[in-house]
Structure 1
Amino acid sequence: MKPASISAALILALTASASGHFPGAGSFSPVSSAHAQRLPAKLTREQAEAVAAYDAALAEFKRVLAERRSQIDGNAKLASRPGQDVYLARVKVMSTYKDLTDAIPERIGPPNRFDVPPAYFDKEIEPLIEEYAALFKNMQAPPKFAQASNTPFKDVYDIGRAIGLAKGLDKKTADAAGRISLGIFFAETNGNQNIGNGRSKTYKGSLQTGPKENTNGKRKWNGLKERIAKVAPDVAKRDAKEAARARGIDERYNHWVAVRNGLMNAHADLFAQLPEITRVLPNEIDQMKFFQLIQIVPTPTRAALRSGDFMNYRITSPRVMGYLRNNSMFAFGKKERAKTSATYREILDAMWLFESKFKKAQAKYAELKSGQES
């Protein structure tokens, strides 16, 4: 099992469009008047500790945001993984807020525009998350030599569908492979092509692959090229053009080649099993979650599928649980982080931060099928 990938999209998982700069520290008080109205008149020791922990985490999050903004605006040299501290500070805010709402349920506020369950996220910090997104947009920007596509979403769909056809799927099921491929693209990069990764020096590009995964995917594609040319000649023609274009650069920064190699590395063999996978997981969002878990924890996820009882297959490995937490499952609050095992049904349910990404993929798929989007 390869080390779990660090999804660049999850770094931005709370964000919509982001612009502008972080409001000054004076714009936020640790406990606002609205918050005070949702606190009991007298706090227990546990409740007081939860309030203090959240206030400290929020102050640290604001400090880290301000520090990184100052460095970027001042053109200072950034650390090799400049997003890691920012990401961890955001996770700490959500984790301590979940502890706070567990201790004081009255502290749960109104819905937020990021569709995060209110028990995990305080609506009043939405501007901080906007700044968080703006910082990562800068830190993960594609390099100048990156080779973008004018039809990035259609490319993902076309490659996924072509792989499905080459693996022997009928047209309807191959279409599902294209839809799932869009889900992977949104899960990995929120639909942004050729980006870097603010938390990792290893994973890059439109499907966030490492060098080994990219090379393995390329090898597998070369073994399938003859079949691709027969079932999807337009894809084969485009592929030859993009492969020639990508010579001399890190191929992961050519959108087409990165998607092709990423899908071939981790997902192509499983596309051949889509009839069985869709039977076990009839819900489209669950199907996308399954393939994203192949990105994160491939070995146990394949074992769960082979078990014949996918939903009840239980993960007990501390290492695998750590990989899941590193991708925002069971990551928030003491109760969740104390879990030492989980069934795949529990894991799928814990992937709620991915759901908005997969809904975007469904919408993009519908646009492509209607001919309205490229």
Structure 2
Amino acid sequence: MGARLHIIASVTLAVAAALSGAVNVGSSARAQPAALTAKQSTALEAYNRALSDFKAILSQRRRQIDAHEPLPNLPGQALYLARVDVMSTYKDLTDALPSRLGRPNKYEVPPAYFDADIEPLIDEYRALFDVMEAPPPNAQASVTPFKDVVDLGTAIARAKGLDAKGADAAGRISLGLFFAETNGKQNVGNGRSNTYIGSFQTGPSEDRNGRKRWQAIKPSIAALDPKLIARDDREEARIGSLDHRLNHWTAVRDGLMNAHADLFAQIPDIARTLPDPIDQMKFFELIQIIPTATRAALKSGNLLQSRVSDPTVMKYLRNNSIFAYGRTDRARTSASFREILDAMWLFNQKFTRAQAEFERVRTR
């Protein structure tokens, strides 16, 4: 216990030092050559300003939370925008000064976008979101959240006619979606939206649509897996008339049925085009982000070379951390799906974790 307390204290001190500027946060950005061009100086000033603003909003939210003060509506939005600004201005800085590319970081963000010296700030950022997005008091948790996702995805795929291999892939992909939406945390709120909540971050209309589709497929699943339907009946009785997004099982079930289940039958074809399991998970996450454009690309017969150029679609991509950082990336007016998948590097770590958890579930 003493060692654990020592570790917690060390982390807390690291965050406090980073916020106060007492540690060498952003040192690679500040230790500049004697003479800079006007463009380089502007980029450096923008990054230092963004970093200062990020520290300020982190400190403000931490103080408010620790003092049990009321938080503003959408308390995570300012944090999110400040983090985006830090990464964007750092990318502009490394574009202007390539020698300032930093070392690899534990978040596996490309070094051009992220100075590893600010890792303690991102640790605090995540810790604050954990508090702001804690499940509501009436949320109904599961003791087997990962297994639930895999079981539901697998059962839906089997009802869609997939063989064991295809259904296995559907279970893995479903778990990837859970990690993409919530970092693998069940029943979470949303610090940046009053609409989307729960284990699959769905809105009310999406949940209703998913429930309707589940009722249509439920008899087919009952014939294949009566134990799963028995579990489903227990969870339905448990949630009763409450919002079904407050129950992990029903939230996952309805989220999968709303957006993804109708494409499960095409998983074998998708896997032939995208043999990398991480790419497969990215593809289904794009169904969540830009569904119409992604479905059209799949139907085109040339998924990877299909391009999107609609400004609204590009906006949705940027709002989900794709082509979101730095002037060069944000200036893009179009992209192929191969380029989009490659640009989803912030999802890589989540999907890698999902894959590891899937293997554990399957082993058990």
TM-score (norm 1): 0.92
Query: Is residue 289–residue 348 contact of structure 1 (8 Å, CA) maintained in 2?
Result: yes
Structure 1 residue aligned with 2:191: 198
- The structural deviation recorded for 1:249 is 2.0
Distance 1:26 1:311, change over 3 A: closer
Structure 2 residue aligned with 1:27: 22
Aligned mate of 2:145, from 144, 152, 159: 152
Alignment of 1:231-250 (within 5 A): 231-250=224-243
Query: How many Å separate the matches in 2 of 1:216 and 1:125?
Result: 42
- The structural deviation recorded for 1:74 is 1.4
Query: How many Å separate the matches in 2 of 1:288 and 1:28?
Result: 38
Structure 2 residue aligned with 1:311: 304
Alignment of 1:208-247 (within 5 A): 208-247=201-240
TM-score (norm 2): 0.94
Structure 2 residue aligned with 1:46: 39
After TM superposition, the structure 1 stretch with the greater mean CA deviation from structure 2, 23-32 or 166-175, is: 23-32
- The structural deviation recorded for 1:40 is 2.9
Query: Is residue 30–residue 59 contact of structure 1 (8 Å, CA) maintained in 2?
Result: no
More helix by share: 2
User: Which amino acid counterpart does residue 119 of structure 2 have in structure 1?
Assistant: E
Superposed CA deviations along residues 301-348 of structure 1, whole A, max 9, x for unmatched, are 000000011011110100000000000000000000000001100000
Aligned mate of 2:87, from 94, 112, 125: 94
Query: How many Å separate the matches in 2 of 1:313 and 1:241?
Result: 44
Structure 1 residue aligned with 2:327: 334
Distance 1:370 1:31, change over 3 A: closer
Gaps of at least 5 residues in structure 2 are 1-9
Query: Is residue 22–residue 128 contact of structure 1 (8 Å, CA) maintained in 2?
Result: no
After TM superposition, the structure 1 stretch with the greater mean CA deviation from structure 2, 74-83 or 19-28, is: 19-28
Is the counterpart of residue 295 in structure 1 residue 269 in structure 2? no
Distance 1:118 1:150, change over 3 A: same
- The structural deviation recorded for 1:283 is 1.1
User: How many residues matched?
Assistant: 352
Query: How many Å separate the matches in 2 of 1:187 and 1:356?
Result: 9
Query: Is residue 205–residue 258 contact of structure 1 (8 Å, CA) maintained in 2?
Result: yes
Distance 1:284 1:158, change over 3 A: same
Query: How many Å separate the matches in 1 of 2:239 and 2:90?
Result: 46
User: Which amino acid counterpart does residue 270 of structure 1 have in structure 2?
Assistant: L
Q: Describe the SS at the equivalent of 1:27.
A: coil
Query: How many Å separate the matches in 2 of 1:90 and 1:36?
Result: 18
Query: How many Å separate the matches in 2 of 1:149 and 1:357?
Result: 21
Query: How many Å separate the matches in 1 of 2:231 and 2:16?
Result: 43
Query: Is residue 211–residue 254 contact of structure 2 (8 Å, CA) maintained in 1?
Result: yes
Q: Describe the SS at the equivalent of 1:71.
A: helix
Superposed CA deviations along residues 179-213 of structure 1, whole A, max 9, x for unmatched, are 10010001110100000111111110000000000
- The structural deviation recorded for 1:36 is 4.7
Kindly report the root-mean-square deviation, in angstroms, between the aligned alpha carbons of the 2 structures.
1.4
User: Which amino acid counterpart does residue 42 of structure 2 have in structure 1?
Assistant: E
- The structural deviation recorded for 1:30 is 7.2
Q: Describe the SS at the equivalent of 2:112.
A: coil
Aligned mate of 1:163, from 131, 149, 156: 156
Query: How many Å separate the matches in 2 of 1:69 and 1:292?
Result: 31
Query: How many Å separate the matches in 2 of 1:270 and 1:53?
Result: 44
Aligned mate of 1:82, from 55, 75, 89: 75
Structure 1 residue aligned with 2:122: 129
Structure 1 residue aligned with 2:5: none
Aligned mate of 2:313, from 293, 304, 320: 320
Gaps of at least 5 residues in structure 1 are 1-17
Q: Describe the SS at the equivalent of 1:203.
A: coil
Q: Describe the SS at the equivalent of 2:72.
A: coil
Query: Is residue 112–residue 123 contact of structure 1 (8 Å, CA) maintained in 2?
Result: yes
Distance 1:31 1:231, change over 3 A: closer
Query: How many Å separate the matches in 2 of 1:340 and 1:124?
Result: 32
Query: How many Å separate the matches in 2 of 1:314 and 1:36?
Result: 39
User: Which amino acid counterpart does residue 170 of structure 2 have in structure 1?
Assistant: A
